[in-house]
Amino acid sequence: MSGAGVAAVPERFSLQRIEDAAARLLGFAVTTPLLCHEALDARAGGKLWVKAECLQRTGSFKFRGAYNRLSRLTEAQKRCGVVAFSSGNHAQGVAAAAKLVGCPAVIVMPSDAPRLKVEQTRAYGAEVVLYDRVHEDREAIGAALAKDRGAVLVPPFDDLDVMAGQGTAGLELVTQAKAVGAHLDVVSANASGGGLMAGVATAVRALSPATRIVIAEPRGFDDFDLSLKAGKRVAHKGAATTLCDALMAPMPGVLTFPVLQGLGASAVCASDDEVLEAMAFAFRYLKIVVEPGGAVALAAALAGRLQLNGGTGAVIATGGNVDPEVFRRALERI
């Protein structure tokens, strides 16, 4: 796509960059399975595959991008460490990657983040700094901490190495689909800032040019849908609340949006009720635990919004770090 209102795609972001990330992640990241079930196919209106990134190291795809970024630190940078801001999954990914490469990590997390995510981040050895997501700016806090400590700031999505690491999930997905003889008509995953989808879309479209790319968002946090329709980055209204705590970025990333816009992506949404149903569905039929933010694409697929029309699609279940009380609410629907 080109023309007025279409931002330039970062020149250095390509399949080659994702393949380089895959080489770095070999032996560190899990090659997560591609799952299916007749019940999913019946609800989705076609053959539906689910890539279970909830089974990834640290419980989400975020480890991929974090390790790819941190594995490139110089020895001097490792001594000063890294700073990241996250509601939980990027936090855990960075904390785990920092432990592996041997550097300190400070993670800025909202005070209302799921307790499980905060505890697991600390368990990887990271220092956690809590903030009020309503009244404080996490990016400003992170930048100040990085400056004070001489540390490297590791963004959750607007970083080419992070995007490339996340894109390795798409690389695996296409390879796994081809191994079972599946031609993918559509691929979908959730987006907040869009790091995962920018990487996945780049890998998928390079290897399967005819595959449609569909971004999934929580209802009321539809900044990608608004932005793609407007032809520029637009913030969502942010008036609603959502169970999907990992998907609350106000607008698409500076680097991620032009990638997805350039690949002709579209966007759909799912409500919290649909997300809870998808979590229950995944547990019942696929035997996996998926957190709310990680179930948005599956929820949209189950509601028929991927428009398979008898074709074949794949969604990524992006994370499994769910608060026990929220998961209990999901299981009540079985």
Q: Per this entry, what is the length of the chain?
A: 334
**Among the listed residues 25, 24, 8, 36, the one whose alpha carbon sits nearest the alpha carbon of residue 317:** 36
User: What is d(CA 246, CA 88) in angstroms, rounded to the nearest whole number?
Assistant: 7
pLDDT (0 to 100) of residue 134? 82
Query: What CA–CA distances, in Å, run from 94 to 86, 109, 154, 233?
Result: 10, 12, 8, 27
Share of the chain above pLDDT 70, in %: 96
Query: What CA–CA distances, in Å, run from 45 to 40, 143, 244?
Result: 8, 46, 25
Q: Which of 255-279 are b and which e, b meaning 16 or more Cβ less than 10 Å from the residue's Cβ?
A: bbbbbbbbbebbbbbbbbebbbbbb
**Is 262 in contact with 203 (CB distance < 8 Å)?**
no
Q: Can you give 127-192 as a three-state secondary structure string? A: EEEEECCCCCCHHHHHHHHHHHHCCEECCCCCCHHHHHHHHHHHHHHHHHHHHCCCCCCEEEEECC
**Is 49 in contact with 286 (CB distance < 8 Å)?**
no
Is 1 a residue whose pLDDT tops 80?
no
Between the two ends of the chain, the Cα-to-Cα distance in Å is: 43
**Among the listed residues 210, 80, 212, the one whose alpha carbon sits nearest the alpha carbon of residue 147:** 80
**Is 244 in contact with 296 (CB distance < 8 Å)?**
yes
Question: pLDDT tens digits, residue range 255-273?
Answer: 999 999 999 999 999 999 9
Across the range 108-124, mean pLDDT stands at: 89
Question: pLDDT tens digits, residue range 177-219?
Answer: 999 999 999 999 999 999 999 999 999 999 999 999 999 999 9
> What is the chain's alpha carbon radius of gyration, rounded to the nearest angstrom?
18
Q: Which residue has the tokens 């994370």?
A: 319
Instruction: Give residue 39's pLDDT band: very low, low, confident or very high (50, 70, 90).
Output: very high
β partners of residue 53: none
Question: pLDDT tens digits, residue range 218-257?
Answer: 999 999 999 999 999 999 887 678 899 878 888 999 999 9
User: What is d(CA 106, CA 278) in angstroms, rounded to the nearest whole number?
Assistant: 33
**Is 89 in contact with 65 (CB distance < 8 Å)?**
no
Q: Can you give 58-107 as a three-state secondary structure string? A: HHECHHHHHHHHHCCCCHHHHHHCEEEECCCHHHHHHHHHHHHHCCCEEE
* Domains of the chain listed by start with CATH number: 15-61+160-331 (3.40.50.1100), 62-153 (3.40.50.1100)
Tokens of 192: 């907040």
User: What is d(CA 153, CA 65) in angstroms, rounded to the nearest whole number?
Assistant: 14
Alpha carbon 210 to its chain centroid, in Å, reads 22
Is 41 a residue whose pLDDT tops 70?
yes
